[in-house]
Amino acid sequence: MHPFEIPFSEISQLVEFTTHGRTLTETDIVMFSGISGDYFYLHTDEMASKKTVFNGRIAHGYLILAIISGLISLPRQGSVVVNYGIDRLRFLKPVVPGNTLRAKMRCVGTEQKARRKGLPSGGVVTWEVTALNEENAEVMSMNMLTYVSDEFASGCNAGSSD
Which domains are present in the chain? Answer: 3-149 (3.10.129.10)
Q: How open is the CA angle 77-27-55, to the nearest 5 degrees?
A: 120
Question: Which residues are bridge partners to 143 per DSSP?
Answer: 87, 128
Residue 46 pLDDT > 90, yes or no?
A: yes
Size of the chain in residues: 162
Residue 5 pLDDT > 70, yes or no?
A: yes
Average pLDDT, integer, range 36-46: 97
Residue 49 pLDDT > 90, yes or no?
A: yes
| pLDDT tens-digit series, residues 130-155 | 999 999 999 999 999 999 998 775 43
Predicted local confidence at residue 74, as pLDDT: 84
Q: Which of 76, 70, 71 is nearest to 21 (CA)?
A: 71
Q: Round to whole Å and give the CA distance between 130 and 140.
A: 6
